[in-house]
């Protein structure tokens, strides 16, 4: 055999060995367990981030409440002294902080729910890992028996892995398409919602100011 032919044969052998390792079901089992460990670690990090976010939001809620109470006291005092313009400004500031409080409270509730969901996910993943580790030896033995009976062929495993890969790609595309449609709807309605919110704020300010002035006239 010539030198060139030997080099070609060695290259083919090395390539086939590499493909066998990639397609080997036993290797894939190890890979899946490693992916599961990484997913557990990632979910645990996300859970810690959510807890940190909750502490930040709780501190912000306390700060917003202090501001809201401060401007409410200013509005009451200004109305009692007949300073209608100052009372209106204070009430507008109070409503602004109340809106921020409501938005922050929603974020806090979402974060708390996310923590619950992440905790359940972590528990499920760890249970799954325990089961997979328990079944690993059995699966390895079955794979070895199947490989021996079929002449060490791995084409069936390769097709299954490829199908899962295509399914994941399609799922990502569908998620992006859905996100795009959602963003279109949000941007289309944001201007109208802003105008309605401003009108509602104005009505709320005038109503509260009216009540404060009525209290002053009664007293």
The percentage of residues in the chain with a pLDDT greater than 70, rounded to a whole number, is 59
Average pLDDT, the chain: 75
Write down the pLDDT at residue 217: 65
Pairwise CA distance, residues 157 & 150, whole Å: 12
Question: Is the model's pLDDT at 103 over the cut of 80?
Answer: yes
Count other C-beta atoms under 10 Å from residue 78's C-beta: 20
- Cβ–Cβ under 8 Å, residues 125 and 36: yes
Mean pLDDT of 206-210: 76
| Model pLDDT for residues 36-94, shown as the tens digit of each residue | 899 999 999 999 999 999 999 999 999 999 999 999 999 999 888 888 899 999 999 99
- Structure token pair of residue 169: 């790609």
Which of 93, 107, 100 minimizes the C-alpha distance to 54?
A: 107
Q: Is the pLDDT of residue 175 over 90?
A: no
The topology (CATH level 3) of 25-218 is: Helix Hairpins (1.10.287)
Q: How far apart are CA 58 and CA 105, in angstroms?
A: 8
Cβ contact 141:12 at 8 Å: no
Which comes out higher in pLDDT, residue 31 or 184? 31
Could you tell me which residue, 7 or 70, shows the higher pLDDT?
Answer: 70
> Which string of b and e fits 114-153 if b means at least 16 CB within 10 Å?
bbeebeebbeebeeeeeeeeeeeeeeeeebeeebeeeeee
Question: CA 180 → CA 7, 51, 79, 166, 176, distances in Å?
Answer: 53, 30, 49, 21, 6
For position 131, what pLDDT does the model report? 83
Residue in 75, 121, 110, 118 with CA at minimum distance from that of residue 95: 75
| Structure token digits, residue 79 | 């109305």
Q: Mind listing the pLDDT tens digit for each residue in 116-160?
A: 999 999 999 999 888 878 777 776 676 666 666 655 554 444 443
């Amino acid at each position: 055999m010539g030198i060139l032919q030997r080099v070609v044969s060695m290259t083919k052998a090395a390539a086939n060995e590499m493909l066998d390792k990639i397609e080997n079901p036993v290797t894939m089992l190890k890979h899946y367990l490693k992916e599961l460990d990484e997913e557990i670690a990632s979910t645990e990090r996300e859970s810690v981030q959510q807890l940190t976010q909750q502490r930040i939001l709780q501190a912000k809620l306390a700060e917003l409440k202090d501001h809201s109470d401060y401007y409410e006291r200013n509005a009451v005092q200004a109305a009692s002294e007949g300073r209608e313009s100052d009372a209106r400004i204070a009430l507008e500031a109070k409503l602004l902080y109340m809106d921020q409080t409501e938005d922050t409270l929603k974020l806090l509730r979402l974060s708390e729910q996310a923590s619950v969901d992440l905790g359940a996910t972590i528990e499920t993943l760890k249970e799954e890992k325990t089961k997979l580790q328990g079944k690993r030896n059995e699966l390895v033995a079955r794979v070895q028996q199947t490989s021996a009976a079929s002449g060490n062929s791995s084409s069936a495993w390769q097709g299954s892995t490829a199908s899962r890969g295509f399914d994941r790609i399609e799922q990502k595309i569908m998620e992006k398409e859905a996100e795009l449609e959602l963003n279109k709807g949000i941007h289309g309605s944001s201007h109208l919602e802003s105008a309605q919110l401003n009108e509602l704020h104005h009505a709320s300010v005038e109503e509260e100011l009216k009540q404060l002035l009525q209290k002053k006239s009664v007293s």
